[in-house]
Amino acid sequence: MQERAIRTRNAILSAAAKVFEERGFQAATIAEILAAARVTKGALYFHFQSKEDLAEGVLREQDEQLVVPERPCKVQQLVDVVMLHAYRLQTDCMVRAGVRLTMDQHASGIDRSGPFLRWTDTCSHLLEKAQEQGETLPHVAPAETAGVLVGSFAGVQAMSQAISDYGDLMTRVVELLRHVLPSVVQSAVLTSVDLAETRGAKVFAEARSLRGEREAVTDTPRS
């Protein structure tokens, strides 16, 4: 894609995210998204065929934008994936909109299982590597543990949103990990895993600098 087309696409997705977050998927209209994106109808339909298509675009953004650096300890890498996602949920309205769409039981016509399954795959893959390296306890089934992590993260973030508008998100995510990891990870590995509440911000800075020049081309400002 040309740089300009990418910018237009990003502007449309950001606008869609904002409108979905404020109004909910069901109530949101293409007209509102057009007005917020300040693009022509033609430009929008060049990139997206429908409201459902826009929602799928927003859903995909949450897993495709940033990559956690490789770590020698795969449990740490898994923790970093979780913490980075929590940090982005607090700071990036596109990620927030994606998560809200995923949790929106009235968003019919879009595939809400997708993000759950993609996150489960990501975590499962890291747990398999952790297993190969002997970091996990012998009984662990990576896919099952990944499902538990993804499901429980989804609820912890929803609870944090309802109670504190994400003010206590990092505390709750760390508490979740401290309750689940001891059933999954060898204790000698546990002692060296960084579970600080500031971990998400740290990983975010790293991931952004890794993304390097690519960012200069494809990124538009967010918040």
CA-to-CA separations, 8 to 44, 84, 123, 154, 218, in angstroms, rounded: 8, 26, 32, 30, 10
Whichever of 159 and 205 has its CB closer to its own copies, that residue is 159
CA 180 remoteness from chain centre: 20
Q: What's the min distance (Å) between Cβ of 110 and its own copies?
A: 10
166 near 89, Cβ under 8 Å?
yes
User: Is 18 an interacting residue with respect to its own copies (CB under 8 A)?
Assistant: no
User: Is 214 an interacting residue with respect to its own copies (CB under 8 A)?
Assistant: no
68 near 121, Cβ under 8 Å?
no
User: Is 51 an interacting residue with respect to its own copies (CB under 8 A)?
Assistant: no
Q: What's the min distance (Å) between Cβ of 160 and its own copies?
A: 7
User: Is 182 an interacting residue with respect to its own copies (CB under 8 A)?
Assistant: yes
Quote the tokens at residue 28.
Answer: 């949101």
Q: Maximum distance among all alpha carbons in the chain?
A: 58
User: Is 153 an interacting residue with respect to its own copies (CB under 8 A)?
Assistant: yes
Whichever of 6 and 148 has its CB closer to its own copies, that residue is 148
User: Is 109 an interacting residue with respect to its own copies (CB under 8 A)?
Assistant: no
Determine whether 123 is exposed, middle or buried from the number of CB atoms within 10 Å of its CB (0-12, 13-18, 19+): buried
Binding site for its own copies (CB under 8 A): 23-24, 26-27, 100, 102-106, 112-113, 116-117, 144-145, 147-148, 150-163, 172, 175-176, 178-180, 182-184
